[in-house]
Structures are given as structure tokens and as C-alpha cells.
Amino acid sequence: MDSLMIMMGGYYSGFWIMIPALILMFWAQIKVSSTFAKYSRVPSLSGVTGADVARVLLQARGLDIPVERTERRLGDHYDPIKKVVRLSRGVHDSTSVAALGVAAHETGHALQHADAYGPLVARNAFFPVAGFASRAMGPLIIASLFVGLRFPPILYGLLFCFAVYALFAVVTLPVEFNASSRALKLLGNAGILTADEAPKARAVLNAAALTYVASAVFAIMQLIRIFLVSRR
């Protein structure tokens, strides 16, 4: 048992530095879930569904991009490869203020793609590297439990993976913030949300943005922790 704790101590040493980031991530998840649940019970006066909103906004820009329903809960996203907006059932078929905000946000990503928005282009270009780092991170963490972090290939491998993870999380922030600002502007210009409904949609999008901020903070703190451990 003592030898096992010593082996595990390498990777998990300094884990206390992660506690604030973990609390932030936990709070962000609670915030986004509670905010979406609250405003998903508030029907919009326009009576249109999330799918309707996405199609209207795309057509207004002359974009022939399909809008599909996905059965995956919280699976709302824009697929830049297949060029399709996918909305979960709770957004696709709902007329709530929350659903319209989320649908417009995902449509905002499609508009970013059409406009070749710089941060989105950078994130998409960086995605293969981030994917490789994500796949390599698990085996490296497991290996570090047995050989520790003093073995150079493990140490530098983890530093690389967490650096890539942190950079990708930071690059994602302007992409998400811009999509939300586009969404609110589009909904207002199209007259889909009233002046009273717009702040409610903004609250939903702000709560969702907080999860990306928490993810970026978590990634940066992980990188700092591994770096500090490596300096010992």
C-alpha cells in the first residue's frame, strides 16, 4: 500500500492547487443547468421553435445549411465538416426563451464559419493537435502513476498535452463569446425576442459561457500544477 501511494504521489502531488478550479467548474455546471431549466419554462411570445429560429437566421444570410434534431441531450452544436446545425430535442422543438437563445448561438457558429471568423479558423486548425493531445493524455497519466513524473518522456509529454489543452481552451473563449453576441444581435434584429425576453436569453448564454471560462481556468491550473511538480 505504501509503495502504491508513493507511485501515485507523483501525478497527484500539488493537487490542492486545482481545488478552486474544480469548485468553479462545479458551480458553472450548476449555473448553466439551473438557468436553462428556469428559462426553458418561459415560452417566447413569438411562438417559434428553436429549429425555426435557426432556419430563419441562416436563410437571412443566404446560407443553405440544414438544421437537424439530435437525440443526444445537450448535443447542440454546429458541425463545420458536414455544415449542419444540430439541436437537441429540448431546443429543436421548444418555443422557450432558453431554446431560442441556444439555437441562435449555434447558428452564430455557422455564421462564423461562413465569415471565416479568425478565432474559429485558428481553433479548427488547432483541433487535430488538440485531439492528439487529448488521446495521449490518458495513457501518460496512467504511466505517471507507476513511474512518477521524474521520467522525462512522461513529464514532457504531460506538459505538452496540458499546454495544448490550455491553449485550445483559451482559443475557444472568443469563439463562444462572439457566437453568443451574434445570437443576441440576430434575435433582436429579427424581432424574434422582445425587449423583456432578451435579458433572459442573455442570462442563458452567459451561464453557458461560464462553463468555457471554467474549462480554460481548469486547463491553465493543470498546466501550472504539472510545471510546479516538475520543478521539484
Q: What is the pLDDT of residue 14?
A: 62
Give the chain's domain count: 1
pTM (two decimals): 0.84
Question: Residue 86 forms beta bridges with which residues?
Answer: 68, 77
The answer to whether position 78 is within a domain reads: no
How far out from the chain centre does Cα 139 lie?
Answer: 24
Domain of residue 150 covers 2-45+96-230
* Residue of 222, 213, 232, 214 lying closest to 158 (CA atoms): 222
The answer to whether position 170 is within a domain reads: yes
Place of cell 496512467: 142
Q: What is the pLDDT of residue 5?
A: 35
Q: What is the pLDDT of residue 13?
A: 56
The answer to whether position 10 is within a domain reads: yes
The answer to whether position 59 is within a domain reads: no
Task: Output the tens digit of pLDDT for each of the chain's 232 residues.
Answer: 333 333 344 455 567 788 888 999 999 999 999 999 999 999 999 999 999 999 999 998 899 999 999 988 778 999 998 999 999 999 999 999 999 999 999 999 999 999 999 999 999 999 999 999 989 988 988 887 777 667 778 888 988 998 999 999 999 999 999 999 999 888 888 889 998 999 999 999 999 999 999 999 998 988 888 888 777 6
Q: What's the distance, Cα to Cα, between the start and end of the chain in Å?
A: 24
Say whether 106 is catalytic. Answer: yes
Catalytic residue selected from 71, 106, 176, 197: 106
The answer to whether position 74 is within a domain reads: no
Residue 193 to residues 98, 179, 202, 221: CA-CA distances in angstroms?
11, 17, 11, 39
The answer to whether position 186 is within a domain reads: yes
The answer to whether position 164 is within a domain reads: yes
The answer to whether position 85 is within a domain reads: no
